[in-house]
Structures are given as C-alpha cells and as structure tokens.
Amino acid sequence: MEPENLTRVSEFLLLGLSQALELQPLVFGLFLSMYLVAVLGNLLLVLAVGSDSRLHTPMYFFLSNLSLVDICLTSTTVPKMLVNIQTQSRAITYAGCVTQVYFFLLFAGLDDFLLTVMAYDRYVAICHPLHYTVIMKPRLCGLLVLLSWILSALNSLSQSLMVLQLSFCSDLKIPHFFCELKQVVQLACSDTSLNNIVMYFIIVLLGGGPLAGILYSYSKIVSCIHRMPSAEGKYKAFSTCVSHLSVVSLFYGTSAGVYLSSAAPHSSHASAAASVMYTVVTPMLNPFIYSLRNKDIKRALKRFFGMAGT
C-alpha cells in the first residue's frame, strides 16, 4: 500500500481504554472524577501557597509550579477523552493529535525537571542550611524554572516536528486514550528509524539524567542526616523530604511501568492502562501527598478557606 501524503491525513482514531459500550459510562465517570480532583486539588495548593506570605520560599515556589504543570498535564489528555466518550466519537484531528503530542511531552518533561530542581532545593536546605538563603535566591529559582521550560520545550518541539515529517497509511487507529508519541510513530508508513533513535535517546537523557541528579542529591542528604547529632534533627530533616520522595517514587515508578508494559508483546492496551497512572493518578495524588504531612500547607489551606468565607 502506498503511504498517503501527510497533507491528506485528516484524523486519527483513539480507541481508548475499553471498546465495550456498557463500560463507557463507568470510564467517563471515573475519569471525570479523577480529573476534577486533580485540577481542584492542585489549584487549591497553588492558591494556598500564594495567599500565605510565610510560604513564599523556594520550596513552595517549586511546588506551586509543579501543581500548575500537573493541571496542564491532565488537561492535555483527559478532556478530549471525556468529549469522545460523551459524543461516542473516537476521532481526533491530525493537527489536534500532533498538538497533543507536543503539550504532553512538554508538561511531562517539566514534571521531570521540576522534581529534580526540588531535590536540589532539599539538598541545599539540609546540607547547607546556613547558606540556603544566599544560594537559593529568587533569581536562581526563576532561572531553574525557566531552564526547565526551555529544555522541555526544545524536546517536545523537536519530537513533534519529526512527527510532522512522517507519512501515514489508511489505518490510523491508536490503541490509547491520547496521542502518545510512540503509538503515533508506529502508525507511520515511512521510515521511523530516526524517530525511534531520537525517542529512546531522549528517554535515556532526559529521564536518566534528572533521575541521576535526584539520586545524587539524596545520597548527599542521607549522608548529612546521618552526621546529625540529635535524633530530633534527623527526623525533622528527613520529614521535609518524605513528600518529595513519595512523589518522585510515584512518578518514576509509574513511568517505568509504562515503558516496561510497552516493551512486552501485544501490550498496547496494557501500556494505555499504565499511562493512566502517571497522566491522571499521579497529578491527582500529588496535592494530597504534599498536604497530609505538611503543617504549613494545612495552616495555609485553613487560612485560605477562612479568607474565602469572609
């Protein structure tokens, strides 16, 4: 079969998590609930931090950025899925699919980089407490977030542009609930060897690099905590890292699950199900992880709701 010209590709079909019609209301209700919890939870966290001047510190500045990115990440994929279920349509336009690829890569990359930046912030706070305010100046914090945006944008732009160079055949069914890069590339009729090389190189570089940075930061943190003389000091230092460690474990654990499931044969639907974890579940749980053990966040939330009620 001759591959169609790229300009004649009009739409893709998103097969979703289940094709059973009787399960669609259940899937719709479940994803709508998770999406609303994720958006409202992260939005409340941002508003709580913004409304409390005592939380205008580097740690909470990065946390606010992470929450905003999580809102954008879930909004890139879930609303289109909900619309398709409601309208009983699986179609997504070619332009919409490429746009979804771009923004998903952008915000997933930002999540990755921001978690690394937050690990560095904890390293400075615990290992160099006397120099913390000198090192973590607002200018440096802003530059770290800006650098995260630039690197993530360059990655998503380059991979999206490479998708635009591909030609596609008539079978444009994606066994996923959103336009995931690997699934889209697999549908191409043209040579995708360069796309695959770049894709896996970036996974190793932008996945392994930040993870190595996080592990290095925490190796230093553990060493510093071990040298602390008092048990109370050790507990206080470690407690500031528990929430971040939980989010890092959740993010990298679910991401690894996606790539392990996609490596298995006949794994398209398994990969789609695993993707739910880090595209929807992880952003939904992050606000709870950071607020349940954090007295400052709890106080800020109570203060915010008190202000809202007056």
Tokens 């954090």, located at residue: 294
Residue 298: the pLDDT is 78
> Do β-strands 91-93 and 11-14 pair in parallel, antiparallel, or remain unpaired?
antiparallel
Say how many C-beta atoms besides its own lie within 10 A of residue 2's C-beta: 8
- Rounded CA separation 4/113 (Å): 38
Beta strands in the chain (DSSP E): 11-14, 91-93, 173-174
- Rounded CA separation 73/113 (Å): 14
Q: 10-residue block means of pLDDT along the chain (310 residues)?
A: 50 80 85 94 90 87 94 94 88 92 94 94 92 93 96 94 87 85 87 88 87 93 86 78 86 74 57 78 86 76 69
- Structural domain boundaries in the chain: 9-309
CATH homologous superfamily of 9-309: Rhodopsin 7-helix transmembrane proteins (1.20.1070.10)
DSSP 55: G
Radius of gyration, CA atoms only, the chain: 21
- Rounded CA separation 100/76 (Å): 6
Sheet with 91-93, strands from edge to edge, namely 91-93, 11-14, 173-174
